Chains A and B, each alone.
Chain A
Amino acid sequence: MKLLLPLVALAALAYAPNLVSDYGLGLLIGAVTYVTLANGWALFSGHTHYVSLATVAFYGTGAYTVAVLNETLPYPLVLVAAAVIGATMALVVGLSTLRLAGVYFVIFTFGLAELVRQLITWYEVNITGTLGRYIFLDVTARDIYWQMLALGAATIALTAYVHRSRLGLALRVIGDDEVVAAHSGINLARSKLIAFVLSATILTLVGAVASPRSVYVEPAIVFNPTVSFLTVIMALLGGANRLWGPALGAVPLFLIFEWLSSNFPDTYPIFLGLLFIAVVFALPDGVLAGIERLRASRKERTA
């Protein structure tokens, strides 16, 4: 029963492109993309409370990998290459930064996204001589949607598995108190690194899968820091340490942002900022935790 509902929902979502217009399909792709990003982000940050703003560093790297390799390798191999590059990058970054705690980690990850963007810009301008790249792939919007849906479903399944595993328990302990974690026999560096690499690989794949839709790719577009912030706020809104929290936060926020950016293109960042503040103030642990608290207090009142 617990498995039935998600499977039915997945089947319905897989059939959905037959029912909607091109614009509707675009919305579906966007929503599923952000659901997958928020879930992939929460896989590492949800329990450890290491707030990463490096989402777009991996997302953009995935998109750029496709842009560079799309004419030399078959498409499935391009995706494999993107995953390998993302995982390697996460391994190097993780080894050097996971000792940083709190705000230092946040700032570092934010800097990382900028660093990658500047490095690629420098390389393209000085070595290849062209800044933008084109992606000409025989991939339809429907293909992208189904690939992203599969990736999203795989991410949620992986999260469910991690939550029940030793790794998941270790991450929760690390989120509460790293000193206790170490003194209980948890290898801090290894646990954090595994989760960070898994998370980053998914984020990189999201960028790779989404990229054929943009056709034209340049660093300023695919390394837009807003993507990192949106991912964080979506996961936090739903509840980053719950299985369905990130999805619950991503869908409504994506639709709101979509509507705001098409109706108020100039003032849209203001609303974005207000929403950020509202989420952090009103629902610091997310909607799901808020509902639970409400239920608990109602139960107490009736008891």
Chain B
Amino acid sequence: MTLLSISSATKKFGGLTAVDNVSFNVAKGEIIGMLGPNGSGKTTLINLISGDLPATSGRITLAGDPLTGKRADQIARTGVARTFQLVRILPSLSLTENVMIPAVFGAKAHWGETARSVARDALLRVGLADRAAANAGQLTYIDQKRLELARALAAEPTLLLLDEWLAGLNPTELAEGIALIRSLTDSGITILMVEHIMEAVRALCPRVVVMNSGRLIADETTETALTDPHVIAAYLGEGHDA
């Protein structure tokens, strides 16, 4: 069953077409990787889905309901949560408060003790429960990333968009991060993840979509994609012996 459907999504910034007529579907419960060199339009596509940017044309639907034309807050309330490529936390709020926000303002509109317990569960899941009362501004980079994921989880999303969430982690943290994401798919969340770390993509995503200069150049199994001449050319340049 298709959860997320993207058809002919296009985003133009003046003369630059950042996302060019991209179409693909994501099934419910699937975890799919999005690859492509820097500047190929991956983050822009994530921004179109989450409503951070309006699409120039095309149509994006979640379980049949259109997302295009909606504001980011409306899309968040339909069950889409995300992390950001450049980590975004709320520095003046405590960890619990940070994570509570989507529980309070999301689809379920929890309040008081319920919201707090949703936040506690999410912090527990990413391993930050013992620091729940600390201020988010004091966290290290990796813990800020964990916090961002906890916040996305507290939204109790049906679709989770991860924008290079694993970037910048050391090998131990990476292994933990991969295990964490796998535990999420086991609980039934659908995940679309932008990722450059091939180890993680191999471990987590049976299928990938590949973008280059705004276009979708591949939509196939991960094994196939990693030997696909088009994909290799996009990463390494034309005429390269791979």
Contacts and interface: CB of A to CB of B under 8 A. Distances in A.
Interface in A171-196: 172-173, 175-177, 179-188
Contacts of A166: 104-105, 111
Contacts of B107: 185
Interface in B83-129: 84, 88-93, 97, 100-102, 104-107, 111
A182 B71 contact: yes
Given A166-B105, A179-B88, A184 B93 contact: no
B155 interface: yes
Interface in B140-165: 151, 155
Chain A interface bracket (under 10, 10 to 19, 20 to 34, 35 or more): 10 to 19
Contacts of A183: 50-52, 72-73, 76, 81-82, 102
Contact of B73 (A172, A175, A182): A182
A170 B52 contact: no
A141 interface: no
A283 interface: no
Which secondary structure dominates chain A's binding surface? helix
Contacts of B111: 166
Given A166-B105, A185-B73, A185-B107, A172 B50 contact: no
B92 A176 contact: yes
A188 B107 CA distance: 16
Contacts of A170: 105
A93 interface: no
A169 interface: yes
Nearest to A241: B92
Contacts, number: 71
Chain B interface bracket (under 10, 10 to 19, 20 to 34, 35 or more): 20 to 34
B28 interface: no
Contacts of B105: 166, 170, 184-186
B151 to A, nearest CB: 7
Nearest to A187: B73
Contacts of B100: 169
Contact of B92 (A175, A179, A180, A188): A175
A182 B88 CA distance: 12
B93 A176 contact: yes
B196 interface: no
B230 interface: no
Contacts of A177: 88-90
9 contacts: A166-B104, A180-B101, A181-B101, A183-B76, A184-B73, A184-B105, A184-B155, A186-B73, A186-B105
Interface of B: 50-52, 71-73, 76-77, 81-82, 84, 88-93, 97, 100-102, 104-107, 111, 151, 155
Rank and list the top 4 A-B pairs by shortest CB-CB distance, nearest first. A185-B105, A182-B72, A176-B90, A185-B76
Given A183-B72, A185-B77, 12 more contacts: A172-B97, A173-B93, A176-B92, A176-B93, A177-B88, A182-B51, A184-B105, A184-B106, A185-B102, A185-B106, A186-B73, A187-B71
